[in-house]
Structure 1
Amino acid sequence: MVGRLYQQFAITIAISVVLSAFIALSLTPALCTLLLRPSHLKKSNILDRFFLGFNRGFDKFTGGYANAVRRWIKGSHYAVILLLCVCVGAVIMFKKKPSGFIPAEDDGRLYITYQLPEASSVTQSVELMNKLMDIVGKTPGVNHFAALSGFNILNGGANSNNGTMFVMLKPWEERKTPGEKLPGLLNVIRERIARAAIKNANIVVIPPPPIRGIGVAGGFSMQIQQGNTNDDVHQFENVVKKFVAACKKNPAINTAFSYYGAHTPSYLLTVDRDKCQKLGVSISDVFNTMQAYMGSLFVNNFTLYNRTFHVVVQADTVFRSMIGNMDKYYVRNQDSTMLPLSSLIQYKPIETAPLITHFNIFRSAEVDGNTPSGYSSGQSIDALRATAAKVLPQGYTYEFSGLSYEEIRAGSMTVYIFSFSIVFVFLFLAALYESWSVPFSVLLAVPISAFGAILTLTLIPPLTNNVYAQIGLITLIGLSAKNAILIVEFAKIRVDRGEPLLQSTLEAVRLRLRPIIMTSPAFILGVMPLVLASGAGAVARKTIGFTVLGGMIASSSLAIFIVPVLFVLFTKWSYGKKQLAWLQEHHAELMEKQSKVEAQNIDPELEYDIEQARQENIASRENL
């Protein structure tokens, strides 16, 4: 499931970047030749005065930023300590921030299911459904609903004591108050049902899954399995009830419930096979006779008057309402003699489970629940595991299903995706800079962005560290690296020419501050529609928006000071003092020859010497 979500994101970003690169390399230079013209601002109008004032102010800001970077470089050990603190803080907050998989969304619908006591009649079920329809119909925010008696959508059971309501809500723009939106509407309906004082009914109000097809409903889902034990259905029911009772004491899973029961009144019918053999009655005829009278038996189809009729044999209602009617049924033996069915069968009343399900071939009971407000799905799963370890006796096991299973399955996949993204960026930068150490000055801007992202999520408790937040973190790898590359690329070109390292770095931060300031706020404003999203899918969009917003703010404010410091440190470590001195010496010689050329109006011989020196400089640097 995580792969499907990441795939959509990856394809969108990849195609956008390819188109952007094509435009930047082809159309943008052509537009520059058409649009860019030398301009001389005058104080003739308000717009010119505004731009003059803005440029003066930005120049002062750039000078102050360059001086601050100079001081950071001198106190580089403090910058390294700050970076370590940021990394440690990010790790701690990632561990403490509740994790999740796919957050619950307000997709405009919800389910209401109920279960009456065992063997309740259809009449009782319909009476309860009428009460629920009256409550739901008067609830603000509800548009319409459909009710179905005798069916439980959560466990798929078709019993007379079950029922389900499918509630459709009003459009999102008509639901303004918190009580008309999920999860507020869920609490409103639950409170109204509680005030109605409906007795002897287990009523559950639960939202559908955020992505259709993954589970039946939202929240957590767990299967209690009867493994290496010979307990009957009644003992199994006691184990499930104890587990659910223990779950309700934990605030992270206090909404847990299970519809498993084993006290439905039934009859155990036994066929006397020895007697059937003596009397010449086929066992299959006995069962077919009971099915035909008590249930129904398909005979055939026949066509009459251009219509096809479906023939089904069944006893009339009066003659199949009581178990005693079995004494009035007859079965034919081999001698074509009709024998009363009561002479071949015996029955007695018992209590049993109306629905027995299996999960991984084991008898199972499903425990569902909605994640309580203030807790994440990851915390609910951890609480279920801890409760199962304490309560479930020996021989019983458990498995997760639905959304919970997908969340556990995707637990380690995000770590691999994030790691591979970092590795790919590192290899690309290593090939670009022809160095294994300089790319670290770019990549170490990623923890700063991650710190800003997780700090933003921590300050907004309703948002969890879910799969959408992780998609935002993957986006921040490229965005934070982009700002760092703007500085590092320019500074490295000047260092390779032989200019002093400190001078090259300060010149890079002066010239590259404007594009960083231009692109970062532009992207921050671009994600504001995600931050302010509402309606369907609002939680997912807000999670991505706030993650990228916090990361970009941290990258634009803190990383622009730490990246130059890291570049200076890694360049000194990578190049060494001898190579830097050699580059500066050759750069000085080249500048001296160039000044002689300019003083003598470009003597061809000196021009040739300068070109030779430049080629030697490049060849020597490549050899080193």
Structure 2
Amino acid sequence: GASIDGGSAMAFNVPPIMGLSTTGGFTGYLQSFDGASTRELYEASLQIMQAANQHPVLNRVFTTFNVNVPSYRAEIDQQKALSYGVALENINSALANTFGNGFVNYFSYQNRNFQVYLQNEDEFRKTPEDVNNVYVRGGNGERIPLSEFVTLERQTGPAVVSRFGVYAGAQFQGNPAPGYSSAQAIEAMEEVVQETLGDNWGMGWTGTAYQESNLGNTATLAIVFGILMVFLILAAQYESWSLPLAVLTATPFAFLGGIGGIVLRGLDTSVYVQNGMLVVVGLAAKNAILIVEFAELQRKELGKSIREAAITAAELRFRPIVMTSLAFIFGTLPLALATGASDVSSHHIGTTVAMGMASVAILGSLFIPSFYAMIASVSDWLYRKRHPNQDRQEQAELGHDNA
């Protein structure tokens, strides 16, 4: 392919959500809260880039901010221009449209709007001497070259000074090191800035990093609302407030197994773990329903006591629970033991669902019947307290579902 002297090329992963970010990894701006100059911002960005690339959690961290870009500064002799009757806005407009570009209007083509810009040809704006070929009209209509009023001085400075919010910022891009998540990389980058530059500096995030750092706690709300929806659906199905509570007693075992597996493997609680938790909560409720619903049928149809119904349900539903749980666990083991590309994300979600389901199958089968017996006993006691004159046989026929 073609070669460019002094040029370099870098490869980037695609962003996890197309359109939300230009590349994978994280993108943010180093900000000075006490109004540092562009030179101070540049020196600070070099310190951060060096420190970040030495951090074990971070990889390929770099900044696009540079204050050593060659450029020309245009000095306008305003008094001389006014003496020729040339308006300053005409000089600025001629410079901008000749050596830069100027917006003209829009035009529509095939149901899309396109912008029209006025710009000089490359060959007529390559060197500072090209300013001699640009003219403006004087007060008497005479064409006067811009070189009469404009002097170009060579200098170095920043090509672009971005502002992120109300502070000037130096853009940074980077990636988490192999084996680490983007959340850990964001946290590590903030630690590097704090330790290297102090409290007057900070990181402002954009793209997917912004969404992850500012909206990361919504996963907890999603799990809470997921549990609430399970409770409301079961309450409507069984026309009871007590039976859904017995079903939801399986969710702590799901969390215990999922988090325990993550801790034992030394993984972090990434978004894959959070999604896995939502899956395990639903599966835990499914296992609990097998026991609770069967026990309730034993009470209603066979007239067994709460204790007898719980024991019978635990004995007869143990095998179906274990078989379905083992089928799911063996199905997710390839994720938990995956190798190759994207193996870290597979480890997170596979470990969460496999260990969570194992915990529900073992501990849930032992404790859910006891929780059912306890909740059903409390429900029965409350029902008798509210209806002291009702016959016990009638209570059994009604199934105590109105508690």
Shared fold (TM-score greater than 0.5)? yes
- The equivalent of 2:25 in structure 1 is 219
What runs of 5+ residues in structure 2 fail to find an aligned partner?
105-116, 386-390
What runs of 5+ residues in structure 1 fail to find an aligned partner?
1-122, 129-161, 166-204, 300-309, 581-585, 588-613
- The equivalent of 1:369 in structure 2 is 174
- The equivalent of 1:477 in structure 2 is 281
- The equivalent of 1:557 in structure 2 is 362
1:241 equivalent in alignment to 2:46: yes
Distance 1:403 1:572, change over 3 A: same
Deviations 1:286-318 (A, max 9, x none): 34554676568999xxxxxxxxxx99755856x
Aligned length: 385
- The equivalent of 1:618 in structure 2 is 397
- The equivalent of 2:13 in structure 1 is 207
Question: Superposition pairs for residues 3-18 of structure 1, below 5 Å?
Answer: none
- The equivalent of 2:151 in structure 1 is 346
1:415 equivalent in alignment to 2:194: no
SS at match of 1:256: strand
Distance 1:576 1:287, change over 3 A: closer
SS at match of 2:160: coil
Q: Are the equivalent residues in 2 in contact too, given 1:280–1:333 (CA < 8 A)?
A: yes
Q: What amino acid maps onto 1:408 in structure 2?
A: S
Q: 1:538 & 1:239 partners in 2: Cα distance?
A: 36
- The equivalent of 1:441 in structure 2 is 246
Q: CA deviation at 1:258?
A: 0.7
- The equivalent of 2:293 in structure 1 is 489
Q: CA deviation at 1:271?
A: 0.9
Distance 1:619 1:362, change over 3 A: closer
Q: What amino acid maps onto 1:222 in structure 2?
A: G
Deviations 1:48-106 (A, max 9, x none): xxxxxxxxxxxxxxxxxxxxxxxxxxxxxxxxxxxxxxxxxxxxxxxxxxxxxxxxxxx
- The equivalent of 1:268 in structure 2 is 73
How much is the aligned-residue C-alpha RMSD, in angstroms? 4.0
- The equivalent of 2:313 in structure 1 is 508
Q: 1:312 & 1:222 partners in 2: Cα distance?
A: 33
Q: 2:90 & 2:184 partners in 1: Cα distance?
A: 56
- Which deviates more, 338-347 or 360-369? 338-347
Q: CA deviation at 1:544?
A: 3.5
Distance 1:553 1:314, change over 3 A: closer
Question: Superposition pairs for residues 358-437 of structure 1, below 5 Å?
Answer: 358-360=163-165, 362-392=167-197, 396-430=201-235, 436-437=241-242
Q: What amino acid maps onto 1:216 in structure 2?
A: T
Q: Are the equivalent residues in 2 in contact too, given 1:524–1:552 (CA < 8 A)?
A: yes
SS at match of 1:370: strand
Distance 1:539 1:330, change over 3 A: same
- The equivalent of 1:55 in structure 2 is none
Q: 2:118 & 2:27 partners in 1: Cα distance?
A: 42
Q: CA deviation at 1:390?
A: 4.2
- Which deviates more, 390-399 or 215-224? 390-399
Q: What amino acid maps onto 1:490 in structure 2?
A: F
Q: What amino acid maps onto 2:176 in structure 1?
A: T
Q: Are the equivalent residues in 2 in contact too, given 1:298–1:313 (CA < 8 A)?
A: no
Q: Are the equivalent residues in 1 in contact too, given 2:280–2:353 (CA < 8 A)?
A: yes
Within the candidate set 256, 271, 275, 1:467 is matched to: 271
Q: What amino acid maps onto 1:544 in structure 2?
A: I
Question: Superposition pairs for residues 158-237 of structure 1, below 5 Å?
Answer: 163-164=8-9, 205-226=11-32, 229=35, 231-237=36-42
- The equivalent of 1:357 in structure 2 is 162
Q: What amino acid maps onto 2:397 in structure 1?
A: I
Q: 2:207 & 2:189 partners in 1: Cα distance?
A: 15
Q: 1:407 & 1:397 partners in 2: Cα distance?
A: 17
The alignment's TM-score, normalised by the length of structure 1, stands at: 0.53
Q: 2:156 & 2:230 partners in 1: Cα distance?
A: 65
Distance 1:396 1:623, change over 3 A: closer
Q: 2:289 & 2:308 partners in 1: Cα distance?
A: 18
- The equivalent of 1:41 in structure 2 is none
Q: Are the equivalent residues in 2 in contact too, given 1:473–1:548 (CA < 8 A)?
A: yes
Deviations 1:162-188 (A, max 9, x none): 5545xxxxxxxxxxxxxxxxxxxxxxx
Distance 1:394 1:272, change over 3 A: farther
- The equivalent of 2:388 in structure 1 is none
Q: 1:224 & 1:416 partners in 2: Cα distance?
A: 30
